[in-house]
């Protein structure tokens, strides 16, 4: 499994109860500018315009990591109130 959030999500979606027997290394997640081999459009977070388009992974666990990264970079504000 990739990390605990991934394992927990997989267990929930598949009705299983797998458990970890050891910890894994979690690779850092980064921001990249440009797509499909384009040169970097932005070299600093501050250069990204308001209402700029940002892509994130579409699986539950990596999407969460990406959203928290965007929040830590000051690009979005997450509502974690649970409502």
83 three-class SS: coil
pTM above 0.75, yes or no: no
Give the domain ranges of the chain: 4-72
Q: What is the pLDDT of residue 14?
A: 97
Q: What is the pLDDT of residue 3?
A: 77
Q: What is the pLDDT of residue 52?
A: 84
Low-confidence ranges of the chain (pLDDT < 50): none
Question: 15: which DSSP letter?
Answer: T
CB of 27 closer than 8 Å to CB of 4: no
Q: What is the pLDDT of residue 83?
A: 61
């Amino acid at each position: 499994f990739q990390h605990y959030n991934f394992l927990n999500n997989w267990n929930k979606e598949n009705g299983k109860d797998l458990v970890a027997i050891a910890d894994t290394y979690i690779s850092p997640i980064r921001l990249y500018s440009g797509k499909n081999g384009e040169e970097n459009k932005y070299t600093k977070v501050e250069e990204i315009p308001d209402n700029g388009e940002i892509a994130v992974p579409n699986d539950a666990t990596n999407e969460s990591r990406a959203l928290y990264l965007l929040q830590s970079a000051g690009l979005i504000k997450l509502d974690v109130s649970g409502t």
